[in-house]
Structures are given as structure tokens and as C-alpha cells.
Chain A
Amino acid sequence: MDFLNALVALSNFVLVPAIAYGSQLALGALGVTLIYGILRFSNFAHGDTMAFGAMIAVLVTWGLQAAGVSFGPLPTALLALPFAILGCIVLVLITDRLVYRFYREQKAKPVILVIVSMGVMFIMNGLVRFIIGPDDQRFSDGARFIVSARDFKAMTGLREGLAIKTSQGITVIVAVVAVALLFWFLNKTRTGKSMRAYSDNEDLALLSGINPERVVMITWIIVAALATTAGVLYGLDKSFKPFVYFQLLLPIFASAIVGGLGNPIGAIAGGFIIAFSEVTITYAWKKVLTYVAPESLEPSGLVQFLSTDYKFAVSFVILLIVLLFKPTGLFKGKAV
């Protein structure tokens, strides 16, 4: 019984939140890694792209709510997601046309593109703040829990409850669908194959008649879709605040780099590695340990390795360790 209680407590406070957070990071990291693979620079504006997409979803959700449309127990934001993706695609395609294309034609050094993406970051951040303001916005509705802690206790008779929020369930399902679609696209379709060819060897791909501008355009479309999805899921799970998306940049980059920049599978693995490390290291283990450890060894403190405020430090330290020992990431990434 104690063991089961420990297991439930562990799932409730560590596994479930980490899986949801890991899926959100993985979707974000996929966007970063695709840009890196095809356009060959680290996109600092990615966090703000996520914020922009999520912002459109928030606005459309409010519109739908005002019009009386709802999605039953599911959040209305899911209905708004396609519109948000469209809006975000328009924004990134305009950005690419006005900003990035010039440097591509010049064959500018990657670091120049990174600085350019800093400028884009400022503009997107300014746009989001201008339109929706810098404050917290709540836009989740529908049922709050799939399983609530009280129901779970009544159902199983255990002392520990297991709560699964609707947003967490949706995050995992949407992430799985998105990743499956992405991999199907990259591996099975002609366009996806041309993208991978372009990423592997640009010159050879050009010789085989692949149109680079088309590859770039499709990359941006996919990235916008992934970023918006990640942004909306994160916003549903926590709340929408523009500055938080900017701060997500660090764990997202950490995920992409740990997995190997330019490698989509690596990005997913990296997302989960970062999420699980952050949650396990900043979780107070006292509750789980009191069930498992014999009474004489019962912990007196919280058994929290680091306070939750240092979660950035966790992703960062992992990033540093991986970079020092395996510079191309766990899965083989590429180096420009």
C-alpha cells in the first residue's frame, strides 16, 4: 500500500507535470531545430513567435466565447488553434520575405542571422505587448480535470490523490498527433524528403533541382504551426504571459542542443530530458520518501535539491554537461 501511495504521489507531482511540460518543450524545440537544420541559424525570436501565435489563439478564443461557441468539456482554444496557426504563418512568411531572405541571398554568416533574429525578437515582442499587453491572460475553459484528486482517492481508496488536468491530457494528445504528422511529412512525402535532403547537403540538393525558396517557405509554415501549438498548449497549461514565452527560450534551446541541433528526434528526446530533470530536481521528495523509506530513515527536511526558482539552472547545467562531453548532442546533430 505504501509503495502504491508513493507511486501515485510520484506520478501526481513529477511524472504527469513533467510529461506535459516535456511535450510543450519538445514542440518548441522541434521548431528551433528545423530552423537550424534548414536555415542554419539559432532563431532567438522563437519564443516570441510562440507568444504571437498563442496571442492570436487567445483573441480568437475570447471572440468565440463572446459568440457563445464552446467545445463542450474541451477548451475553446482548440477551436481557435487553426486560426492562430494561420495568423502565425502569415507573420513568419512576411518576416522571412522582408527580413531573412535578404541575408540568405547575401549568404551572410550564421551569427549575423542570429543578430537579425534578435531584431525580429524585439519587433514580435513589441507587437504582442502592443496588441494584448504585458499582463497575464487566462483563456482556458471547459472541464478543469480529467481525473481529480478527490475522485481518484474515492475510486482507489489510496491516501494519495492523482490529478490529471484537461490541459495536460490535451497537451500530450496534441503533441503526439503533431509529431506523428511531422514525421510522416518528413519521411513519406516528396516535399518532406526534399527538406531533409536540403538540410543534409545544400549544394547536392540544389543540383538535384530542389527549389530552395520553396523548402524555406514550407519550413517556416511548419515552424509557425509547431510554435503556435506549443505556445497555446503552454498557455492552457499555465497561463498566457508574453514575457514567460521569452524566458522559455532557454529550456527550448537547451532541449534542442541536448538532443543535437538539426535532429528532430533529438529535439523530442531533449525536451523530455530537460523537463524531467527540471521537475525532479526542484521537487520536494519528502512525501514520496516517507512512504518508501523505513521509519528510522524518514527525512526531516523537504528533500528538495534546489528551490523551484532555479529551474533555469537545471536546464542550463545539463546543456553545459552535454556540450562539454558530447558537443553535437546526444543524437548526432550538425555543426555549422
Chain B
Amino acid sequence: MTETVKNTLLFVVVGSLILLTGFTQSWNTAILILNMGLISAIMSIGVNLQWGFAGLFNVGVMGFVALGGLAVVLVSTPPTPGAWSAGGFGVILALLLGAATVVAAVMVAQRMPKGRVQTFTIIGILIVGFFVYRAIFDPNIAAIEAIDPAVAGNIGGLNLPVLIAWPAGGLLAAGAAWLIGKTALGLRSDYLAIATLGIAEIIIAIMKNEDWLARGVKNVYGIPRPAPVVGYEVELQQDPSFIARAEWFGLDPVTASTLSVKLGYSLLFVIVLLALLWMAQMALKSPWGRMMRAIRDNEVAAEAMGKDVTRRHLQIFVLGSAICGIAGAMMTTLDGQLTPGTYNPLRFTFLVWVMVIVGGSGNNFGAVLGAFLIWFLWVQVEPIGLWLMNLITAGMPDGSALKSHLIDSAAHMRLFTMGLILLIVLRFSPRGLIPEK
């Protein structure tokens, strides 16, 4: 069996698992798995770019995904009336001043001769800058958050089509990644891991608490859809030609409309995935990709050959994070809401890592396959676990405490299973299902 046949077979197997879900459970579930699988595949391509190509250990995926979601709100929702005049410009001014303070402190740190004077100047700049920043920032925020707090209280967005928000999400994530990379990429691998883990937590903390930005834990609902492609269920249900087509498939209009909307998303996601996959494949084969792998395998040798290791690392860190940002924007669009409280590192960082490692780090197709497979398992382990628990507890008397506890706990089988899969793959097939060539 050649490699191509084996890899195609693996994809066919995962595809049929999703199809099987459609036949045995419901097509809605199957397409939902497909859609989130597509988004996960994009995240895994991003992580694979960083880890598989360059050996960068980024465990801050969640932060970039969340930034992508934030971009959707900032780009595509309508602006809150009066928010900009009430305090929007003040907030921007305060943020610029804050940035200027940090830049000034860094300049002093780099330019002034070392010594006590330098230390005191830096501390002085930081303290004065901080108080000026807070003095401008606080009243403006209060003004914005006071506007109709029950439904708004945030700055709102630019009211642009939501598809523009996807690349914007990538840009926002890339900007954050550049800042992070500039400071943290010189660190050793496990320090970088801790640093990115921390930054992701901070990004989530900011999104939860800065209500003026995207309403914090009050969430933003009703994010516009990429309407021309996916449409709205209610409109479809009233469209006579749609009803006719639904009948031809033997479906009632309600089910058909939900399926059609979801398939519209699938179409968009497939296009993005294919484009990114093609680019990642081209990058892998190009001289640039070979250089990256050379740096990954032996930094010292690559540096001796005249490669600028730090710059290349920064470059690929930004690129990979931007891809995660795009995926995050797509996910928020699919959900139609931004809920900062639901971002959890186990789900958005470590699960993506499981996808990449199980699929095969260093191989783009492996990362994509891993994403679909692991996402399928993540969704299906819960019903399977419940079934298993019902089987185990079948002999126990009804109403026994152990029985109800076991059945209630079935939902937590997910994390356990994911850990088990990761460890088994790492032990017995450390290069993943589709290994790097």
C-alpha cells in the first residue's frame, strides 16, 4: 500500500465517520461536526506552522482565537450610537498615550547609559505615564459603558460585511503575535510556553473585563451573517422555490433551511481551508520552508549558515498566530455571538495541540486529518461515554448513588479520552498518523 493510498484511506475513514453520524444521529449534528472540524483544521494548520515547521512551542492558541472573535465584533457589528462622541476618541487617545509610555521606557532602556539615573528615569516615565493614562482612560470608559448598558455599553463596530472581519481577525492576532514574539521569542522553549500560556489568559481577562470593548461577560449577540452565502432560516422557509427543492429531497422546509444555512457556512470554510492549505503546502515545499525546518532541526548550524534565526522565528510565529486568528473569527461568525466566558485553554489550546500531534506534526495534511478526527471524537465521546456508563450501571439498582454519579460524570470522559489518545499516539506513533516526509 503506497503512502498516498494510505493517507487517502485515512481521510475516507474520518469522512465516513462523519457521514455515519449523519445517517445514525442527525444531519444537523454531522454538519455541525464538519463545520467545527473545518475551523479546527485551520487552527491546526496554524499550530503546525509554528510547531511542525519551526519547532516553536506556542500554548497561547486560545488568545489568538479569541482575538479573532473580538475582531468580528469590532468590524461587523453596527456602532453604538453616541459611543464615539461620548468617549471613543478619549479611549483611543489614552491607549496611544499608554503605548507611548511603554515605547519611551523601552527607548530609555536602550539608549541611555546604564546606571541608577537610567533606572529612575524608566520608573518615573512608567509611573507618570500610568497615572496620565488612567486619568484619561477611566472617565471615557465610564461614559461609553453608561450608554444603554442593558443592550450596548460598548463601542460597537464598523458595520462592515462580516467576511472582511475574517482577515481582520487574522491581522489583529498577527499584531498581538508580533508584540509577543518581539519580547518572548528569545526565550527557551519551555519559557516561551509559559509566556504564551500567560498571554492567552491575559487576553481573555481583558476581553472579559473591558466592557467598553465588546461588552465583556455580558456577551455580544446577533453578529451579522455572511448573508448572501448562507441566508437566514426564516427567509428560506418562506421562499417557494426553496420549499420546492426541499420537497424534492424529501425534507420538511424547517430542517432543510437549517441544513442549508449550515452547508453555506461549510462552503465558505472549505474555501478558506483549501486556500490556507495550499499556501501552507507551497510554503513547506519552498526554499523558505526548507530553511525553517533546517532552523528547527539545528539552530546553531542554521545560524552559522547566515540565517537570522530570531527574525525567522518571529515571522512564522506571526503567520501561525494570524491563521489561528482567522479561525477564531470564523468560529465567532458561525456561533453568531462572542462569549468570552467560554474560552477555555483545555478546549482551545491544548485540544488543538492534540489534533496536530495525533495527525502528524510537520505535515499539513496530517494536521487537517487530526483536526477532523479529534473534533469528531471530542463531540462523540460524550454520547459514547453515556452509553458505556448506562451499560456498566445496567446491573445496579435504580436510584443508587453510584449509578447516578457515574451517569452524571459521563460528560467528563472527554478530557480523559483526549489525554489517553495523546499519550498513546506519542508513545507508539510519535510522528502521528500522517508523518512528515
Interface residues of A (CB under 8 A from B): 41-42, 44, 99, 102, 110-112, 114-116, 118-127, 129-131, 133-134, 246-247, 249-250, 253-254, 257, 301, 305, 307, 309-310, 312-313, 315-316, 319-320, 323-324, 327, 335-336
Contact = CB atoms under 8 A, between A and B. Distances in A.
A301 B138 CA distance: 11
A315 B193 CA distance: 15
Contact of B187 (A310, A327, A336): A327
Interface in B193-248: 193-195, 197-199, 201-202, 205-206, 208-209
Given A126-B419, A320-B183, A118 B195 contact: no
A102 B198 contact: no
Interface in B121-155: 130, 138
A319 B198 contact: yes
B205 A115 contact: no
B408 to A, nearest CB: 8
Given A312-B205, A313-B202, A320-B195, A114 B190 contact: yes
A122 B416 contact: yes
B426 A119 contact: yes
A316 B199 contact: yes
Contacts, number: 130
A110 B423 contact: no
Q: Which label, helix, strand, loop or mixed, suits the secondary structure of the A interface?
A: helix
Contacts of B191: 257, 323, 327
A319 B420 contact: no
B60 to A, nearest CB: 11
Contacts of B184: 320, 323
B357 interface: yes
A327 B192 CA distance: 12
Contacts of B414: 126
A253 B418 contact: no
Interface string B401-424: 000000011001111111110110
Contacts of B130: 305
Interface residues of B, number: 45
Interface in B142-184: 183-184
A259 to B, nearest CB: 14
A126 B350 contact: no
A122 B418 contact: yes
A122 B421 CA distance: 10
B437 interface: no
Contacts of B206: 310
25 contacts: A42-B190, A110-B190, A111-B190, A114-B57, A115-B426, A118-B353, A122-B422, A123-B416, A123-B419, A125-B419, A126-B412, A126-B418, A126-B419, A246-B345, A247-B201, A250-B194, A250-B201, A254-B198, A257-B191, A301-B138, A313-B205, A316-B195, A316-B201, A323-B184, A327-B191
B209 A309 contact: yes
B116 interface: no
